[in-house]
A and B are shown apart, each in its own frame.
Chain A
Amino acid sequence: MSAILEVKDLSKRFGGLTATRNVSFSLEPGELTGILGPNGAGKTTLFNLLTGFIAADTGSVLFEGQELRGLAPHKIVNRGVARTFQLTRPFLGMTVLENVVVACLSPRARDAHDKEARAQELLDHVGLGSKAREPVETLPYGDLRRLEIARALATKPNLLLLDEPFAGLGSSEIEPLAQLIKRLHREQKLTILLIEHKLREFMALVSRVIAIDFGEIIAIAPPSEIVRNPRVIEAYIGKTEAAHASA
């Protein structure tokens, strides 16, 4: 089977700083892959490059065989690549339902005639159905993450990019969210790429890990192997979360 996403030699410099250097990897359809790296390693920059929020200097991003580089962010979404943000960004002053309706207005969701019904369906799907009519300001952090995912799903993605979905969540919120991601992956055959800097959440969730440091890929391997990779240990585990990794 051919790759759904093929990234080749992607590079980006900010002034004198190299944020991303010659990043190449590919994703198979239906794969659940993680990007691992310490804070400041360039994970979010990589997401921004893939989704068109930042223009790459060189390289290419082929999605389903078509070049994404150079397209505006909304056009990339309309090719079938959706993303969430690390900091959740709800539309304030609207209800939870309205927040999802906005995303249901994107061109890819055109075939859903009743946008409200479609939005409600998506909210049910991520477990927020009962809170549809509430002002979005009342949602706790964990629910905002679900809202972000519902909004991303509204655009009917073939590839879903999740930027640190577990950041800032308490341990009681992490497990249900991980279950949701697994379920989406299983039921909808979604290809998912997710960023995380805590190893523990990775182990049970993803089948493959792309480890990056200083904007470069240092290893690609299944999670069980990645923890034994000397470069990963040096760049990352040695620094902060040795305890977590060995646990």
Chain B
Amino acid sequence: MKQLSIVDLSGAIAVVALLALAPVLLNSNYFTGVLTVCVIYAIWAASWDFMSGLTGRENFGHSLFIGAGAYTAGFLATVWYANPWYSLPTAVVVAVAFSLIVGFPTLRLRGPYFALAMLSASAIMQRLCLIFWEYSGGEEGLYGLDPLIQSPLHYYWFVLAVLVAAVAILTALAQSHWGLLLRAIRGDEATCQAAGINVTFYKIASLTISAAFAGLGGALYAHYQLQVSPPLFSVVVSITVIIMVYVGGIGSIYGPALGAIMLTLLTELLRSFGEYRLWVYTLTLMLILFFLPNGLIAPLWRRLTERFR
């Protein structure tokens, strides 16, 4: 398949180096925290893109996997007092289990069932967290998680390493035959079936991979905030991730990751907007849908580097 070009590789190294050095240069714990959140959102955006961007099946409830991962970490820490490092693998397993529960009945079908089911499942999970407050901590959520790594800077580097690994794995998969199949499924499912491809299997498998990384990101987020609460399941989280993917350029994996970092940083700049923030996001999405249907970052990068290829 496609080889990773030198240009892309050097671009990636430059961005990662910049991200790794930024907190050292700025030397502010607050900014390190902001960057940590940026990078976690980047993991969520890249994982959304792998399933929905490649196969074209819209996932409107990515927060289901994010929340599942985060709450897994929360329960492990506050109910079983487990070693915080157990959170990561357990969160992956739980998120994958959720993806199978939603994906199996809905991805066999054509039509909007998957999109509706994901949106509904995440909304209902958020609701269940409030209803079964005896177990989930209700509105307050679960408190008192231990950090995975004490130093915020070291934790940031760890999360960044996870992002790099996630983007590398997902990009490798997307550029492999597997990714070609997923793009073929987006194009025409019937033709794929006529070529003997088990379309349902590939869709569900890619959803589980997407969910695994989202759940991992959820656990990383929980151990950064040291608490989890029901808004993690909210539709707002899902749509924020989707907007990031759109800004980055759907289907390119690295674009959405960068889109997430850019938008999260922008959000910090827009702090003065306070409650208007989400409005700005929504407006951004509308503008992109109308004027830049292919997104901003990935197409821009391709344009800029065209001549070096």
Contact = CB atoms under 8 A, between A and B. Distances in A.
Interface residues of B, number: 17
A98 B180 contact: yes
A103 B195 contact: yes
Contacts, number: 75
B187 A78 contact: no
B275 interface: no
Nearest to B195: A103
Given A89-B188, A91-B183, A94-B184, A155 B193 contact: no
B180 A102 contact: yes
B193 A72 contact: yes
A82 interface: yes
Interface residues of A, number: 31
B183 A93 contact: yes
Contact of B187 (A83, A92, A151): A92
- How would you classify the secondary structure of chain B's contact residues: helix, strand, loop or mixed? helix
Interface in A74-126: 74, 77-78, 82-85, 89-94, 98, 101-103, 105-109, 115
A106 B195 contact: yes
A210 B196 CA distance: 27
Contact of A101 (B177, B191, B194, B199): B177
B127 to A, nearest CB: 36
B283 interface: no
Contacts of B100: none
A49 interface: no
Contacts of B183: 91, 93-94
A214 interface: no
Interface of B: 177, 180-181, 183-184, 187-188, 190-199
20 contacts: A53-B190, A72-B193, A73-B190, A74-B192, A85-B194, A91-B184, A92-B187, A94-B184, A101-B177, A102-B181, A102-B197, A103-B196, A103-B197, A105-B197, A106-B195, A106-B196, A108-B196, A151-B195, A152-B195, A155-B196
Interface of A: 51, 53, 72-74, 77-78, 82-85, 89-94, 98, 101-103, 105-109, 115, 151-152, 154-155
Given A91-B191, A94-B184, 8 more contacts: A74-B196, A74-B198, A77-B196, A82-B194, A91-B188, A102-B195, A105-B197, A151-B194
